[in-house]
């Protein structure tokens, strides 16, 4: 039973992370105010409006969006080993919590960097040349071999090549 409850919590976290109608700050504030991601997803329109966290237009967009967010993406990525860590979890990188616009959460595959670990972000064009793709992969491999963790947005192009 506890395992099912944990799975349910993960799904709500995932869905809130995917909700594009609210900013990271608004998501954090709503979770703090309402107590959980599930409470945000099940809150009535009036409760969300009364919270004052988001303007009415944003609340309406979220209400429309939350009806469309489903678990299919969750299932696909979960099976592929993609995980989610949110700002309120112990594994969330401390350095990110200090950012003025700290992200609500991070999708990741593999291991999150530990404290004090050296991290390099490699980001670039989604539509890149074959040369750019090759070089970003080689640079990432070199850095990884020398003790750096490589972080990126996991997008296509340069980001994806860096992770491969």
Contacts of 133 (CB under 8 A, 6+ apart): 157, 158, 161
Buried b or exposed e, range 104-118, using 16+ CB within 10 angstroms? bbbebeeeebeeeee
Task: List the alpha helices (DSSP H) in 20-157.
Answer: 24-34, 37-42, 45-51, 56-66, 72-79, 94-97, 130-145
Distance CA 114, CA 58 (A): 36
Residue with tokens 């469309």: 68
Q: What is the pLDDT of residue 15?
A: 87
pLDDT for 71: 59
**Strand 105-108 to 83-86 pairing:** antiparallel
Q: DSSP of 126-142, one letter per residue? A: SS--HHHHHHHHHHHHH
pLDDT of residue 154: 60
Nearest Cα neighbor of 26 from 103, 88, 91 is 103
Q: Taking Cα atoms as reference points, which of 19, 56, 21, 49 lies closest to residue 34?
A: 49
List the chain pLDDT tens, one digit each, 164 residues.
Answer: 788 888 888 888 888 888 889 999 999 999 999 999 999 989 999 999 999 999 999 999 999 888 776 655 777 777 888 888 888 888 888 888 888 888 888 887 777 877 777 888 787 777 888 887 888 888 888 988 888 887 766 667 777 777 67
Predicted confidence at residue 55, as pLDDT, reads 92
């Amino acid at each position: 039973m506890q395992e099912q409850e944990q799975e349910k919590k993960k799904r709500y976290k995932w869905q809130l992370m995917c909700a594009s109608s609210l900013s990271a700050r608004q998501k954090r504030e709503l979770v703090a105010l309402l107590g959980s991601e599930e409470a945000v997803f099940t809150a009535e329109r009036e409760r969300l409006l009364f919270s004052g966290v988001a303007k009415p237009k944003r609340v309406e967009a979220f209400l429309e969006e939350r009806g469309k967010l489903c678990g299919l993406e969750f299932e696909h990525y979960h099976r592929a080993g993609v995980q989610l860590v949110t700002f309120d979890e112990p594994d969330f990188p401390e350095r990110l919590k200090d950012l003025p616009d700290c992200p609500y959460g991070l999708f990741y595959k593999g291991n999150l960097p530990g404290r004090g670990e050296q991290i390099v972000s490699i980001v670039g064009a989604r539509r890149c040349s074959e040369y750019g793709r090759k070089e970003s992969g080689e640079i990432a491999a070199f850095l990884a071999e020398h003790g750096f963790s490589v972080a990126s947005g996991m997008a296509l192009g340069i980001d994806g090549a860096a992770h491969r």
